[in-house]
Structure 1
Amino acid sequence: MKATVIEESLTDNPNFPTLATEVPLIKGLNDQLATAIIKAKDGGHQDVFNKNEARKALEAQLKSTGLLVQNVSKGDESLILSAGYDVNKTPLPIGPLPKPENLKAKAGDNHGSLIVSWNVIPGAYLYEVEYMESPVTATSVRMHVSCSKHSVTIDNLTPGKMYSIFVAGAGSDPRRVWSDELTSYIM
């Protein structure tokens, strides 16, 4: 169990002398959980409840100790690892997302509505959809809608008009790469 690794790693660890008092707490809670797991295998509801409570108590202690390790280590990965804790991978920016591909449009369920879909873009946390009456000119009124899925229903379009639609994925990079134009006639 991870708690045993942390307990052993913190025991007499010269990097964390101030955390020596945490070791017996972790050991005691870890032993309680081990006993509770054995009892819960063939036990009743109360034994399972006790096991779950023992797990919560150990997890809370490990989290509390982990915060102390983080504070003492000042984020030094080698020190954190020496305490038996894992380190998170540093997230790297992925840059601008690629332009959406395979745009499709079909009539929506309501008069004057359009369902637009496209392929999922990995890394996109939302999509921006821009649409306007076609043909697009410098004075075209651009309307926007955002969504978290790779399709959206656009309502209140004027029947009998042609619309131009563009889509871009939004991620951590503020730049947007817009799709090729999709045009659709509204019924």
Structure 2
Amino acid sequence: MSKPTLRFHNISPSRLDMYAEQILTSMGKNVDIFETPDPSLDKLQHALNEFRQAVSDASYRDKRAMLVRGQKQVALQDIIRLLSFYVSKIAKGNESIILAAGFIPSKEPQPAGATPKAENLMAIPEIGTNQIKLRVKPWKSARMYQFEYRKKEEQGDWEIYFSVKSRCTIENLERFAEYEFRVAYVAADPARIYSDLVSCYVV
């Protein structure tokens, strides 16, 4: 469900001024929707005026004036935050109502959907180390990558190696033996859709 966003992180004074003015103007135009804003628009206007004066006073880099500007910025942000709660109650997730208040709606997270088949698995021998480097095409929704390997001639159980990255190194393999490898993406979907098998000799 969409909610009004604040976007205060590292916001510049000019951007905060514009955002506050946008909210003030938009809610003032839509009084039929926002009949009793809490805090009131008068309080928002007063806080915005004081913030603008503090920004002007701090333009000469006076330390005390800059401190006051910081205090007035926090006060203005607090009023906007409280208004966002009010708008959220009125809108009940309706993006058009949130926009009518001058706020920017939050974006709903999109489900990753079905886990795709892992693609482009490559196995690269590290000469003289008994190691094989594996890498696969990354998938942005993958939480982990489940690499598996076994001796090709034996066709036994798969050994499993989990990695948070789309690459890993399998160590302590038998020299001159041929191994086969596969990988699957690990995501919210519990299905494991393995890549095509790739074979490689340890050299």
- TM-score of the aligned structures, taking structure 2 as reference length: 0.71
Q: Percent of aligned positions with the same letter in both sequences?
A: 25
User: What amino acid maps onto 1:148 in structure 2?
Assistant: V
- Residue in 1 that maps onto 2:180: 164
- Shift in Å at residue 3 of structure 1? 1.3
Q: 2:46 aligns with which of 28, 32, 37?
A: 28
1:171 CA displacement: 4.0
Q: 1:110 to 1:39 in 2, by over 3 A?
A: farther
Distance between the aligned counterparts of 2:132 and 2:181, measured in 1?
11
Distance of aligned partners of 1:34 and 1:126 in 2 relative to their CA distance in 1, 3 Å threshold: farther
Q: Which residue of 2 aligns with 1:154?
A: 170
Aligned-partner residue type, residue 96 of structure 1: A
- Residue number among 95, 98, 106 corresponding to 2:113 in the alignment: 95
- Quote how far apart the aligned CAs of 1:134 are: 2.0
1:81 to 95, 99, 104: 99
Q: Which residue of 2 aligns with 1:182?
A: 198
Paired positions, count: 185
**Counterpart check, 1:14 vs 2:47:** no
Residue identity in the other structure for 1:147: S
**Which residue matches 2:148?**
130
Deviates more, 1:105-114 or 1:83-92: 105-114
Letter in 2 for 1:7: L
CA contact (8 A) 2:39 2:79 kept: no
* Other structure's SS at 2:193 match: coil
Cα 1:30/1:113, change in 2 over 3 Å: farther
Q: Which runs of 5+ in 2 are unaligned?
A: 1-17
Which amino acid counterpart does residue 180 of structure 1 have in structure 2? D
SS of aligned partner of 1:68: helix
Q: TM-score scaled by structure 1?
A: 0.75
